[in-house]
Amino acid sequence: MPQRLLFVYNADGGLLPGLKDMFHKILSPATYPCSLCAVTYGATKMRPEWQQFIKALPVPVTFLHRDEFERDYPQWRPHPLPAAFAVGESGELAPFIQAEEMNAADLNDLMSLVSTRLATFGARAPMPGE
């Protein structure tokens, strides 16, 4: 079982990029490049159902923005984002949810995908609506 899950946004961190992303998401949602941001966040804060879901998972969850991820894991720079990784005991990353899967998912799909993938490790995770 992974020691934790790492979700990586396809957006840079910081106040200015955050404001730009917020307006982009509101004004032109169809062209917004981060599906993870789009389904897990409203205009300004994390959706409560996503927040409750990740708190109920059997492993800790962390989030990084693209610039933070590229700084901390330069060897993963070419990996398409957004994505989620399983983090092992020694800190190694293994793809957990690929960008294509995230881009095709709404919030319920994403939560189901996380739960199903964790179940392959023998972990019980909540399904959407539980």
* Domain annotation covers residue 10: yes
The pLDDT tens digits of the residues spanning 41-94 come to: 766 678 899 999 999 999 999 999 999 999 999 999 999 999 999 999 999 999
Q: State residue 5 phi and psi, 5-degree precision.
A: -110, 140
- One-letter amino acid at 103 equals N
* Domain annotation covers residue 126: no
Q: How far is CA 100 from CA 79, 94, 106, 116, in A?
A: 11, 16, 12, 17
Q: What CATH number should be reported for the domain holding residue 46? A: 3.40.30
Report the number of distinct structural domains present in the chain: 1
Give the whole-angstrom CA distance, residue 12 versus residue 67: 5
Give the whole-angstrom CA distance, residue 29 versus residue 18: 15
**What residue numbers bound the domain in which 66 lies?**
4-119
The predicted model scores a pTM of 0.81
* Domain annotation covers residue 130: no
* Domain annotation covers residue 78: yes
* Domain annotation covers residue 81: yes
* Domain annotation covers residue 124: no
* Domain annotation covers residue 86: yes
Give the whole-angstrom CA distance, residue 5 versus residue 18: 23
Q: How far is CA 25 from CA 30, 32, 101, 109, in A?
A: 8, 6, 20, 20
| Predicted pLDDT at 86 | 95
* Domain annotation covers residue 89: yes
